[in-house]
Structure 1
């Protein structure tokens, strides 16, 4: 009897241990579900969500997408995600959220996406967070049957390519951090209002025949920092006060690394950073390597006179590129810039990126490393004394997101 009781006790203990191990090792079966129409609540960690048609987060409701969720868009219906309420995409470094298409559609011929719409947040959306997420293969063209067209959102007409993110509430709050937009048809973002932080993101292989990386209009107050923007079709940053919304567009963009942008634009508009229409912009510590132009302005509709630019580094392996960096009526002169009129000068000494890579190249290798090697002219050449818009942060859904401190180096990445 004693041995029997001992056996039962050991069995129960082993059963309890096995149950705990199952929970601790996350062996819970993956949940897969299909969605259409109105959605809200939580998509639980590790789920697979099949989006069959346009989905809508209703005004007054929220959707939270937890880490490790894969959202698979139907490439026949090419859904849009309409956010009339709030959306919180909360991945982690180890387990990002992925908004993508079926694996068989992730192929070279679809390099510029156009297989689903984008995240379109209306004026009733007050909070949007994209953290540790990957958005890929989107930018579908709108039609008369698109929910965005029917609801009068974005440009509210058929024939427009959806951006990855559209945000329009001037009183709203938007944070995108530690995320990637890639394989996108046109604009990565189109922002028409809000208090905004974009930091530590990567944008690459976007814009087949047009399109910007971060496209900001009137109504926005934004900090844009520590982003890597590679081979957008047109500009990495398009900063404008167009649209006659309040407040005036005011952007502090600092410590960004911008590579190969503008060369695939069929006209000469594309470059690195574009300023227009009385935008108030402060630009510091930005590294521009093999971009088509330096910081360029619309001479007919220039930036606000309070705008500032300083401590930029320019590098081009081609003489054409170096020539197009030179200050002129169109190319903004910054203070303490590192600039030369000679090809090959100011090599930033990236840890692992061939700076002679074709300027029109749009293919991106995850093996590249844009940190700075010892001896880089970008080291210890940054400025840290400026004020960013959201030093004290933006509070969304109970969490405060702060614009990071500026660095003493130029670009998004220092020494490893």
Structure 2
């Protein structure tokens, strides 16, 4: 897809095994659909998919009425945001056939790209992944041998999980996730076989967790993911199941490093379940902020086994140790009156979207210069050159935005 051009699709796009679909910079790809059974196309990737937007010329994978949907979201009208107007991106090896007995699949590499309003219900789409009627994910990646790189991009408005991986080498750096999941769903949900790093992501207004790691899925490789220097706020309040939903969740044999994350007004803080790989989970230097006593009581989820660590920063009382975001008032919403679960209709846009807010830390913030930097990213992906990952190492400030200008660039 050539630089600067606009393309439309009203039927599934399929990238065949061995082929590559490349979006050059400044491309807009528009799904023509309304989310109904025969009008919800998806991008099926059995080969390699690459979107190479740039900061100056980002790419868009969106819908016909995107401007209207964004206007509605900015006024806290979310019907079109969560309805799923198209199917999303599904990347996995092609089915085995006599003609192709050993399909390899390929990589998914996405940089500086807006991906919006996906999640249409599945009707006969990939029955091994979705049951009929299930909401599809904005991105589904399942190739244990290949790379999934997502950098400096935006995932906005999904009916269920924004992204789900079942296997793959990942590098998820400096992205922004907004309004993922209507009444359930994570921004990023990782299953067995997922290995790599997630850092400098801004995650706001998810239905359930911002980030979830689980070794469910029964692949041959353990889920092993590092989560560091992420900022997450106002997450977990739409999940209707008891005890679910908040910020970071490790369960069912998952392992990894968890450092330097800023968790502000999330319904639950760090949750490590008894069946997670506790021996191989290391965590410290989290910054927990809460505007209410109820949020403070769940900084460490009560149905998990995570404990306070030596370098954690926590509100001792409601509104204590305000993170001092540059241009966002963390206390403007009444979480006492709305402790969750609550419907999206009760959540104003300022607690579900970034908008014009700046979540960098002002001078005097308790999170400045309090991060752990003496560890190394896993750097699991193998792709190099123009298509390779740009992995930002741990930064000295807690959260996704760094005083030196590194970290999240949005």
Partner residue of 1:193? 167
In structure 2, relative to structure 1, the CA distance for the partners of 1:156 and 1:110 (3 Å cut) is closer
In structure 2, relative to structure 1, the CA distance for the partners of 1:327 and 1:179 (3 Å cut) is closer
Q: Deviations over 1:178-204 (max 9, x none)?
A: 000012111011101111000000000
Partner residue of 2:398? 410
Dislocated runs of 4+, deviation >6 Å: none
Provide the C-alpha distance between the structure 2 equivalents of 1:214 and 1:176, rounded to a whole number of angstroms.
12
Q: Which of 328, 332, 352 is equivalent to 1:357?
A: 332
Does residue 188 of structure 2 align to residue 214 of structure 1? yes
Q: Give the strand-richer structure, 1 or 2.
A: 1
Provide the C-alpha distance between the structure 1 equivalents of 2:31 and 2:304, rounded to a whole number of angstroms.
42
Q: Deviations over 1:260-281 (max 9, x none)?
A: 0001111231111111011112
TM-score (norm 2): 0.85
SS at match of 1:321: helix
Shift of 1:294: 1.2
Give the gaps of 5 or more residues in structure 2: 73-78, 94-103, 336-346, 406-410
Q: Count the aligned residue pairs.
A: 366
> 2:268 touches 2:295 (CA, 8 Å); kept in 1?
yes
Q: Deviations over 1:206-251 (max 9, x none)?
A: 2111110111011111100000000100000111111121211111
Partner residue of 1:53? 11
> Could you say what the CA RMSD is over the residues aligned between the two structures, in angstroms?
1.8
Partner residue of 1:202? 176
Shift of 1:397: 7.1
Does residue 132 of structure 2 align to residue 158 of structure 1? yes
Provide the C-alpha distance between the structure 2 equivalents of 1:118 and 1:396, rounded to a whole number of angstroms.
26
SS at match of 1:305: helix
Provide the C-alpha distance between the structure 1 equivalents of 2:260 and 2:67, rounded to a whole number of angstroms.
38
Partner residue of 1:79? 41
Q: Which of 270, 292, 309 is equivalent to 1:295?
A: 270
> 1:294 touches 1:331 (CA, 8 Å); kept in 2?
no
Partner residue of 2:54? 92
Q: Deviations over 1:318-346 (max 9, x none)?
A: 11101111575625123411123411112
Provide the C-alpha distance between the structure 2 equivalents of 1:318 and 1:376, rounded to a whole number of angstroms.
19
Q: Which of 139, 145, 153 is equivalent to 2:119?
A: 139
Provide the C-alpha distance between the structure 2 equivalents of 1:323 and 1:288, rounded to a whole number of angstroms.
14
Shift of 1:303: 3.2
Provide the C-alpha distance between the structure 2 equivalents of 1:376 and 1:105, rounded to a whole number of angstroms.
36
> 2:255 touches 2:276 (CA, 8 Å); kept in 1?
no
Provide the C-alpha distance between the structure 1 equivalents of 2:67 and 2:321, rounded to a whole number of angstroms.
41
Partner residue of 1:64? 22
Shift of 1:356: 1.4
Partner residue of 1:9? none
> 1:281 touches 1:304 (CA, 8 Å); kept in 2?
no
- Work out which structure has the larger RCO, using CA pairs closer than 8 Å and 6 or more positions apart in sequence: 2
Provide the C-alpha distance between the structure 2 equivalents of 1:159 and 1:399, rounded to a whole number of angstroms.
35
Provide the C-alpha distance between the structure 2 equivalents of 1:163 and 1:104, rounded to a whole number of angstroms.
18
Partner residue of 1:270? 245
Provide the C-alpha distance between the structure 2 equivalents of 1:78 and 1:190, rounded to a whole number of angstroms.
19
Q: Deviations over 1:99-136 (max 9, x none)?
A: 11113773323122410011100134321101000011
Does residue 360 of structure 2 align to residue 371 of structure 1? yes
Larger radius of gyration: 1
SS at match of 1:87: strand
Provide the C-alpha distance between the structure 1 equivalents of 2:174 and 2:296, rounded to a whole number of angstroms.
27
SS at match of 1:372: coil
TM-score (norm 1): 0.84
Q: Deviations over 1:24-50 (max 9, x none)?
A: xxxxxxxxxxxxxxxxxxx00111111
